[in-house]
Structure 1
Amino acid sequence: MSDKLKKFFQKKKADVKFKRAGPGHRLNEDTAPKNVAKTGETSRSNRVEPTDEAKQAAAAALARFESKKSTTGPINTSLAAIKSRARKEMEAERRKEKQNEDTFTHLEELKTSTDVSGTLATIGVFFQCPIIGLEVLSQEEWHVKIEEFIKEQMKDDPILQSILLIQNCNHNRSKVEECIKLLVTYAENIIRNREEVKYRKIRLTNKTFMEKVLPIKGAIEFLESIGFIKQKLMHEDQMENFLVFPEDCLNNLAMVQSTVDDLQSAERIQLVLDRNVQVLLPSQASKKVSLPPEFFSMSAVELKIEQQKRTENIESEMVLKTKKMRIKEQNKHNSRYKYCLIRVKFPDCLYLQVISLSIYFSAL
């Protein structure tokens, strides 16, 4: 990756890290809190003397607490606290039921052919982006935000903007790789054959160009950033649209070569899985739950890979193998899920719930 791209990503990471540090302070500001005495006086003046009924209720509650403490011991007190928290959780769930209706309706609209029955263990899979900001969003929302971020931040540098758009705003990686390969071919043909006029013209209605370049976001912008301009030229007795590399741009072939190198070495903006750590009460953990479609739905690319694996397995079974080779194949990790939901039960009957990637247990 070029130094310019590295500096760009390092600057954005530093900005996000700075935001995590909290609000700023001036070096010459008074660190001692002002109006402390006034605040205390106000709070004392606003304090209301409890009524006789409240005093009696408090005394009775204290007496019950002391009697339970002396008879049942700390274990039952812990259980009582858990029951109290459970009741509060149930009341909070009832209050939030209406708020969650919109969320579940949205999930139903996004649901694929895979049916989800029962209560969802989590409303979805969400991510963070260390380079852009601190928000926790779904993958689809991040795709939109990343594209807006690139267009806004790199509007003064069309070369880097087009490279980042190609790498980050097209989600079929095989098509992106084909497009990059073709763009590199266009540029290298000009560099190696600068006197050949045919290499400096690209017909926009060319079948290969329409299939591999036009659908990719940022591809046309990349060609324009290295010098190509749109022109109408005669082709087979009719005028057609072309991208033409002007002759006066042949003096900038060193820039074209460095831009091609940046395109090939550029990295994608990575998303980090939000673990969504939750502490569950026994009543919540005992409910039968289902996982949202994001946990196990497969994209077209993944289906293609799965089909390829099955074909390889069939071909592999037709080959004679030693016992060692068979054992090695049987021990291969084969995950059907993108993510997994982990629950750990603690001695006080609370559960810790977290979303994890497909990684080994020792890595947790």
Structure 2
Amino acid sequence: MDKLVKFFKEKNVDRKFSKLGEGHRLGDASVQHPASAANSKHQSTSFGNTPPSSRPVEATLSRITITESRDTSNQTELLFWCPNLFGDTVVGSRDEVEQAIQNYLLSGSVCNTNEAIVLMVIRGIEKSKLPSSSNIPLSELPSISEIKQNRKQNIVRILQNLINAPENPVYRRLRASNKLIQDLLSIDGLESFLTLCNFKKTMLPATRPSEQQQVEGTDEKTTVKNNEDSVEEYKEAFYVISEEDANNKEHLEKLLNLFTTADPILPELYRNTKVYRATGRTLTCIPRDHLPDEFFSQTKEEFRKYYDQQHRIIEESRMLLTKAMRERLKTQNMRSFRYAVIRVRFPDNLLLQGTFYAMDKLSTVRQWISECLTKPYLFRLYAPPSIQTATLTNAPPTVPVELTDDNVSLSEVGLAPSSLINLIFNDRIQQEASGTSVLRFDLSQSIEDI
């Protein structure tokens, strides 16, 4: 027995040394570290050079590598469309659809030039963004809706002032350096809109405080010499409308009415509904690292850094946070995501996938599911255990909790930027649907394996 054990030990030693390659002298410059040599050899060899006994292992590892590195970009592609203008004939990225809408408005195929310019200004207002300055406190930071509303009101006020008092020269001159006018001029198409209202950009004389003269200092004191005249003349850009053009109330009222009643024409999020058949290796919930950058309000690196900082602050000073501060932090976290990929797992192990805005209500997801079914089946939705403990209830972490509040957003319930929810029919419907597909025919014919 001892001889048999010794024999196998010698064979194992010979096998291990045979994998280390040829020997080298200690002073040889071509010596390579065994680990790096093994790695390079592993990358350059194929199954043809692999011993037969290890081929099954290599094949298994290869399949796992391919599965893990499989590109999921087609599963999380962010698409947009504008169904009111193009139906489903134009589907693409936001920039592609934006360009298609812009070309459509400028072509004059549906509206005249005046209407196109007004619609472009409305589109520009809807695309307003938060101020880029990071020095503004969170409590004073205006919301996107407030910025849009203020810009609309300012444009309406300019038109109403001209209509009500065309003889007033103050209303007929807009100073380009004024902060309010500067903010409006940052809107796409606003300058063309002013031209449409018959405003003309003109350089006019203006006054400003004169610059201080040279400062003369001594060892005892410092004196400042100023000009006797505290102002100096210079020219500045203004947008001016003549009194005659301002008296054209019919034209201005038409523009005001169109501006206040027209709906913005913007790209809409394409649901991009897909159906997958889950397998044993399926990643049922798409990892965040596999999501496009557009899903995040910040880049992935910025978000990770921000999340780590906020987590540390909360952990260190949880007892010192007021209710208002906790609400603001919650709002910041909700703003971190723009979109959400939701997968709905059916009892037959099918996954229904759709893309939503992170602020969409749960009722939107429920309605989308109903539209994908062959009949208006009654169903219940359950949140995954990993999410419900933090946002829904204090139930044990292994117990799914039913999603019943359709008025909460996907961010509030913790389903953004990606999540898996379970769908369960009641017993009668489950028996009725057994053996048949509950999904629409077009969806049941486009099932993909993942």
Query: If the length of structure 1 is used for normalisation, what is the TM-score?
Result: 0.51
Matched, 1:207 2:162: no
Matched, 1:287 2:283: yes
Greater length-normalized contact order (CA 8 Å, ≥ 6 residues apart) = 1
Q: Is the 8 A contact 2:79 2:94 kept in 1?
A: yes
Matched, 1:153 2:125: no
Q: Is the 8 A contact 2:81 2:92 kept in 1?
A: yes
> Structure 1's 123 and 187: CA in aligned 2 closer, same or farther, altered over 3 A?
same
Match of 2:296 in 1: 297
> Structure 1's 205 and 272: CA in aligned 2 closer, same or farther, altered over 3 A?
closer
Match of 1:144 in 2: 99
Q: Is the 8 A contact 1:202 1:242 kept in 2?
A: yes
The Cα of 1:316 is off from its aligned counterpart by 9.6
Superimposed CA distance per residue, residues 165-221 of structure 1 (whole angstroms, 9 cap, x where no aligned partner) = 1222341154443332222222222222222222211122233312x1111111111
Q: Is the 8 A contact 1:228 1:243 kept in 2?
A: yes
**Which residues of structure 2 form unaligned runs of 5+?**
1-62, 129-143, 208-232, 304-309, 311-320, 328-333, 370-450
Q: Counterpart of 1:287 in structure 2: which amino acid?
A: L
Match of 2:250 in 1: 254
The Cα of 1:155 is off from its aligned counterpart by 10
The Cα of 1:256 is off from its aligned counterpart by 0.6
> Structure 1's 268 and 234: CA in aligned 2 closer, same or farther, altered over 3 A?
same
Query: If the length of structure 2 is used for normalisation, what is the TM-score?
Result: 0.42
SS of the residue 1:198 aligns to: coil
Superimposed CA distance per residue, residues 9-48 of structure 1 (whole angstroms, 9 cap, x where no aligned partner) = xxxxxxxxxxxxxxxxxxxxxxxxxxxxxxxxxxxxxxxx
Whole-angstrom distance in 2 between the partners of 1:219 and 1:313 = 43
Matched, 1:194 2:166: yes
More helix by percentage: 1
Superimposed CA distance per residue, residues 42-78 of structure 1 (whole angstroms, 9 cap, x where no aligned partner) = xxxxxxxxxxxxxxxxxxxxxxxxxxxxxxxxxxxxx
SS of the residue 2:198 aligns to: coil
Q: Is the 8 A contact 1:166 1:176 kept in 2?
A: no
Matched, 1:269 2:265: yes
Whole-angstrom distance in 1 between the partners of 2:283 and 2:110 = 51
Superimposed CA distance per residue, residues 140-174 of structure 1 (whole angstroms, 9 cap, x where no aligned partner) = 33233323332233797343122211222341154
Match of 1:181 in 2: 153
Whole-angstrom distance in 1 between the partners of 2:155 and 2:251 = 15
> Structure 1's 353 and 243: CA in aligned 2 closer, same or farther, altered over 3 A?
closer
SS of the residue 2:187 aligns to: coil
For 1:1-364, list aligned pairs within 5 A.
119=72, 122-133=75-86, 134-153=89-108, 157-170=112-125, 171-172=127-128, 173=144, 174-210=146-182, 212-236=183-207, 237-283=233-279, 286-287=282-283, 289-291=286-288, 292-293=291-292, 296-298=295-297, 314-315=323-324, 338-345=339-346, 347=348, 349-356=349-356, 358=360, 359-360=362-363, 362-363=366-367, 364=369
Q: Is the 8 A contact 2:203 2:238 kept in 1?
A: yes
Moved more, 134-143 or 337-346: 337-346
Q: Counterpart of 2:323 in structure 1: which amino acid?
A: I
Q: Is the 8 A contact 2:273 2:352 kept in 1?
A: yes
> Structure 1's 121 and 137: CA in aligned 2 closer, same or farther, altered over 3 A?
closer
Quote the sequence identity (%): 20
SS of the residue 1:132 aligns to: helix
Moved more, 150-159 or 275-284: 150-159
SS of the residue 2:170 aligns to: helix
The Cα of 1:120 is off from its aligned counterpart by 5.4
Whole-angstrom distance in 2 between the partners of 1:204 and 1:231 = 10
Superimposed CA distance per residue, residues 219-257 of structure 1 (whole angstroms, 9 cap, x where no aligned partner) = 111121122122232223223322111122134112212
SS of the residue 1:227 aligns to: coil
> Structure 1's 298 and 317: CA in aligned 2 closer, same or farther, altered over 3 A?
closer
Whole-angstrom distance in 1 between the partners of 2:155 and 2:335 = 35
Whole-angstrom distance in 2 between the partners of 1:155 and 1:238 = 46
> Structure 1's 285 and 345: CA in aligned 2 closer, same or farther, altered over 3 A?
farther
Q: Is the 8 A contact 2:202 2:237 kept in 1?
A: yes
Q: Is the 8 A contact 1:233 1:241 kept in 2?
A: yes
Q: Which has the larger radius of gyration?
A: 2
The Cα of 1:270 is off from its aligned counterpart by 4.5
Match of 1:3 in 2: none
Q: Is the 8 A contact 1:295 1:340 kept in 2?
A: no
May I ask how many residue pairs the two structures share in their alignment? 225
> Structure 1's 194 and 272: CA in aligned 2 closer, same or farther, altered over 3 A?
closer
